[in-house]
Amino acid sequence: MNDDRRGADDAFVAQVRDVLDRAAPPDDVRTRLAAARRRAVASLDAAVPRAPARWVPVGALATTLLAVFLSVSVQRPPPAIDMQQLATVEDMDLLMDLEFVAWLDTDNVDAG
């Protein structure tokens, strides 16, 4: 009984499928469907070049930041110069000190 019912259902469904397949939409609908399909496929093609292009501004920004960082790093005086200047100052003090000592010596001679 169930097999009969199932067989009848299958036959009915096959008939329905045939009838549905036979009835194509009118020409203008098919034309509009084809146009919609072309638009969908074209949107896919148009999206492909945009994907890498999105990274161009990011890459440019990163390159600029790197260049600025390197430029600032090069312009900054190295710590050795500071030490040299410091050494120069110490020499000057030492020199001034020696002159003072010499003056004292001279003064002492004159006074004596």
Partner 1 sequence: MTNGPALNRFLAEVEQRAFRMARFAVADTDEALDIVQDAMLTLAAKYSHKTEAEWPPLFFRILRNRITDFHRRRTIQRGIFALFGSRPAADDEPDPLEQLSDGRHAEPDFRAQIDVTTRRLEAAVAALPTRQREAFLLRVWEGFDVATTARAMRCSEGSVKTHYSRAVHALRDQLEDDWP
Measure the CA dihedral 72/73/75/78, to 10°. 150
* Token reading at 91: 């020499």
Nearest distance from residue 7's CB to partner 1, in Å? 13
Nearest distance from residue 80's CB to partner 1, in Å? 55
Residues lying near partner 1 in the complex (CB under 8 A) are found at 8-9, 12-13, 15-17, 19-20, 22-26, 28-30, 32-34, 36-41, 43-45, 47-48
Nearest distance from residue 24's CB to partner 1, in Å? 6
Q: Is 57 helix (H, G, I), strand (E, B) or coil?
A: helix
**In terms of CB distance, is 10 or 105 closer to partner 1?**
10
d(C-alpha 30, C-alpha 46), whole Å: 24
